[in-house]
Amino acid sequence: MEKKIGILWITATLALTLGLGQKDDNRRLRVSANGRFLVTQDEKPFFYLGDTAWELFHRTTKEEAAMYLDNRKAKGFNVIQAVVLAELDGLHMPNSLGDVPLIDDDPTKPNEAYFNYVDWIINEAAKRGMYIGLLPTWGDKLMKLGWGVGPEIFNPENARIYGKFLGNRYKDAWNIIWILGGDRNPSEDVHKAVWRNMAAGIVDGSGGHDQALISFHPQPTKPGGSSKWFHEDDWLDFNMHQTGHCRDGNSYKKLAYDYRLTPVKPTMDAEPTYEEHPVCFNAKEHGYANALDIRKKAYWGVFYGGLGHTYGCAAVWQMYMPGREPMHGPLRTWKESLDLPGAQQMQHLKNLMLSRPFFERIPDQGLVLGENLEDPLHVSATRGKSGSYAMLYLPGIRPVTVNTSLLSGDTLQVWWYNPRTGKAHKDGKIQKADAYTFNPPEEMSTEDWVLVLDDAAAGFKRPGKI
């Protein structure tokens, strides 16, 4: 079975030699030494700021893909999550160049013309210093659960062959993060075997596990996400959650669950509420998710220990344009949705986290004293392990009492960081105490703020300045 696609593997290697991926081992990602974050090979911290573009390979022209990548690069996104065998009739509806991905729906017979376009986008992302969170397939090609367009084409045998083809094709591309799962939870042992074999194929084709960083994108589930099935599997480098499209005041608890697991592995929210998505899929009763909804899940997840965060937009993931069947009622086209407020504001979270000692960061709800409500006013807290800084996210105007004795030094510099603008306001210095009550700047009652407390002796720059 492997022999009949050997020619394709040779072709793939030739494509890489001609420039695909622009090999740069220093920028290849791996898990940090403390098992909580991602780093480059030369030890630079990597805050995963993803955007959801599931249909990027399937529904864009080269001009559109380049425009999209430029837009996301300008907004600070560094990972683009996209699917090779796409959800929306990705097997049978050709891409913009008229090509389908497989011959006869056979995963062991990839169509070289289709993969040439995937190569091109991966290379364009690399030119911009961006990573591709590459999903080999959407999960409906493995099992049908009421939506998505199959057919079901994978079994444990062909999954390994397909995984090896992909791993070999992109083994020199520094900017690949492998993501299995594709919005389906394994409900039977054979499904787990498919994903495990696909991962084994990717590792084999890539030349070893140190050349292939792999995660798994699930549906919403409790208590864990990918950790529910694969946490102890060696191939799973970091966990992912999908916290879903409701205004869920408990989404951070899923990150907290993973954080306590052993062996220690990084975790993140890889599909939260999408901007302008119908809340709980019911716009009539709940309206559409707005930028505040987006920021809440982002800051909650990261402050509870997430290695980064993925943003999504209802129109962008599906590359919706007139003439295409809309999914979940997008309010505008994908091109008109690129500059929504939430998309522009995600970079402020990344910059904030990178502006303080990155590898020291731990979640610590012990900073918050007194009653701490759940949605909509739950305060999440993180700090440096040494106590040199702390950050508390307030999703609305409310006082917060903080145990500042957990921080180092006697004098603390107080800042209020605006997650809507990325600007920080210095608010004087205080003496450390067991309990100190802070009141955020009073603007609109729905506005959110980040309280940043620094050991004044540390001499940190303004929050968000990197």
pLDDT tens digits for range 394-427:
998 889 999 999 999 999 999 999 999 999 999 9
Q: What is the pLDDT of residue 66?
A: 98
Tokens of 351: 């910059």
User: Domain end: 306, 339, 354, which one?
Assistant: 354
Q: Of 108, 72, 114, whose CA–CA distance to 90 is shortest?
A: 114
Task: Indicate which CATH number applies to the domain containing 61.
Answer: 3.20.20.80
Nearest to 466 by CA among 350, 323, 367: 350
Please report the pLDDT score of residue 357 as a whole number: 98
Query: Tokens for 289?
Result: 């998710």
Judge whether 340 and 40 are in contact, CB under 8 Å: no
Residue 214 three-state SS? strand
Same domain membership, residue 233 and residue 110: yes
pLDDT, residue 404, reads 98
Q: Say how many CA atoms lie within 13 Å of 368 toward its Cβ.
A: 23
Please, what is the average pLDDT of the chain? 93
Q: Assess whether 82 and 146 both reside in one domain.
A: yes
Question: Does 376 sit behind a cis peptide bond, omega within 30 degrees of 0 on the bond before it?
Answer: yes
If we measure between CA atoms, which residue out of 226, 231, 304 comes closest to residue 264? 231
Q: What is the pLDDT of residue 15?
A: 43
With left for phi above 0 and alpha for psi between -120 and 50, is residue 35 left, alpha or beta? left
Given a contact cutoff of 8 angstroms between Cβ atoms, the answer to whether 112 and 100 are in contact is no
Is 107 among the domain residues? yes
414 in the same domain as 296: no
In the chain, what percentage of residues exceed pLDDT 90? 86
Residue 368 sits in the same domain as residue 344: no
Domain end residue (candidates: 354, 369, 395): 354
Residue 449: strand pairing partners: 394
Task: Answer positive or negative: Cα dihedral of 268, 52, 135, 206.
Answer: negative
Domain membership of residue 329 (yes or no) is yes
Residue 466 lies in a domain: no
For residues 179 and 49, give the distance between their C-alpha atoms in angstroms, rounded to a whole number: 15
pLDDT of residue 9: 42
The answer to whether residues 304 and 247 belong to one domain is yes
| Cα separation, 168 vs 206, whole angstroms | 5
pLDDT for res 371: 87
Question: Which range of residues forms the domain containing residue 301?
Answer: 3-354
Count: domains in the chain: 2
Residue 464 falls inside a structural domain: no
Among the listed residues 148, 159, 164, 174, the one whose alpha carbon sits nearest the alpha carbon of residue 20: 174
What is the structure's pLDDT at 444?
Answer: 64
State residue 228 phi and psi, 5-degree precision: -60, -30
pLDDT of res. 442: 77
* Domain presence at residue 99: yes
Could you tell me if 27 and 134 lie in one domain? yes
Distance CA 159, CA 161 (A): 5
The type of residue at 16 is L
Q: Which helix (H) or strand (E) holds 56?
A: helix 56-59
Q: Domain check: are 23 and 92 in the same one?
A: yes
Angle at 187 between CA 184 and CA 190, to 5 degrees: 100
Q: Are 315 and 436 part of one and the same domain?
A: no
H or E segment to which residue 401 belongs: strand 400-402
User: Does residue 14 sit in the same domain as residue 102?
Assistant: yes
- Angle between the N-to-C axes of helices 62-74 and 112-127, in degrees from 0 to 180, rounded to the nearest 10: 30
Same domain, 325 and 432: no
Q: Is residue 465 part of a domain?
A: no
d(CA 333, CA 316): 8
Sheet holding 380-384, edge to edge: 361-363, 380-384, 389-394, 449-455, 411-417, 424-431
Of 354, 379, 408, which residue sits at a domain end?
354
Report which DSSP code applies to 38: E
Polymer length in residues for the chain = 466
pLDDT the model gives residue 247:
85
User: Rounded to whole angstroms, how far apart are CA atoms 461 and 466?
Assistant: 8
Q: pLDDT value at position 17?
A: 37
- Block mean pLDDT (10 aa), the chain, length 466: 40 43 79 98 96 98 98 98 97 97 98 98 98 97 76 96 98 98 94 98 97 97 94 98 88 96 98 97 96 96 98 98 94 98 98 98 97 87 98 92 97 97 96 95 81 98 96
The pLDDT of residue 10 is: 39
Dist CA 287 CA 279 (whole Å): 6
**Cis peptide before 107, with omega less than 30 degrees from 0?**
no
Which residues, at least 6 apart from 156, have a Cβ–Cβ distance to it below 8 Å?
A: 190, 193, 194, 197
